[in-house]
Chain A
Amino acid sequence: MSQLILLAVVNGLIVGAFYALMAIGLSLIMSLSDVINFAHGGFLAVGAYLAYSMTPYVGFWGGLLIAPVLTAGLGLLVEKVLISRVYGRDPLYSLLLTFGLAFIFEDVTRYIWGAQGLPYQVPGWLMSPLSLSLFFLTGYRVFMMALIMVVVGALFWLMTRTRLGLRIRAGTLDLETVSILGVNVRVLRNLNFGIGIYLAGLAGVLAAGQLGLQPTIGDSLIMPSFIAIIIGGLGSLTGTLLGGLMIGVASGLATVFVPSASEAVMYVMMAVVLLVRPQGLLGEEGRF
């Protein structure tokens, strides 16, 4: 039994880390640009497939390194050409735009790589269990968790120690004042979008190694990511991270005890948080 609970918690933490990676990117974009990016899952799929296609040439590590960067590049382009046009308009425009983009990403990946699932090769030594008693704890799972933590740590550093990060945080509160201090907010929003999409692309590559590839790979992650933001508090990176891990573990545990509630449990958590603390666990008026 304790084995089973441990399995559920570990699984939950890993799934939760994915939610968090998605959610942090979504939250960055939402906070600075007031755009709810429904295409986030599509970018995740693009990252995964790009890695798949380049692995024969650059290997697993090359794909892990390069694919998220290329995805971020695509993000910069999409923001500059399309999304920046709807800034300052009714939120309905950005909603429709990103919703449409999500469909386009899904169909394009289906067109290029096919609708059937594809296997994604992770180095064999990473896939073997770390110990016989903890058979489910493969090196890859530990590696994913560790890498996600490192990347989130780097993002925290960026947001608190660099001028770019400080300007993004200032901009989430008052973009106008950032602009009169000489900061080009068009570029700021573009880079911020790219950072968010980098995280989505990275999540895609990592998820591919665990789940294999499907054009809809991002779909199952996007709703929980929104819930993670709501539970953690919009604009709080720590809160979003916490929110992602919490719902991951909660639904993992629910899978063991009440399998039918494994999806519902995160919605219940969200409802409770909204009733008790509407701004989210770590949300406050000043963002980040």
Chain B
Amino acid sequence: MRSILFYQLIKPRIFLRTYASSKKSQVSAFTVFDRKAKKLQRNRAALDIETSKQVDYLKDEVAHRLVDRLLDIKRNYDTIVDLGCGCGHIVKYMDHDISKKLVMCDMSEKMLERDKNIKYDVEVERIVVDEESLPFEENSLEAVISNLSLHWVNDLPDSIPKICVIHVIY
């Protein structure tokens, strides 16, 4: 009897601890999303190639509009970084006149790999990158663009200035 009661007392504590473990030390008020779960979900989504292609149209459309706005800018780029590229939506609309090269970054390697045999108009480089922690040197990039991805980033007020640091200001 005693042991049963003890078990009931202890159970809620264990329950809470498993949840708390994912956001241990660096808990900030902005930690809203479980990025690990998000990564698993993205990887899983990209594994079913045919079904995932059926839902590309939304991101394709927004990517198209984004690239259209890039055309309004009167300069050419050598390298543009696409942060949170998914399976590659911006790259479909990018042409050689806008940028010579596109660096596609996503936290999901399966998404990066899905369309890797397709030839595009620009040179493509793929890197597995967490948008919350960027591996680029300061002042190393000319432009950073993102298409329907940064809304999954936990600490936007922290991340946006970091993107500005790696971006060369002309």
Q: Do A and B come from one complex?
A: no
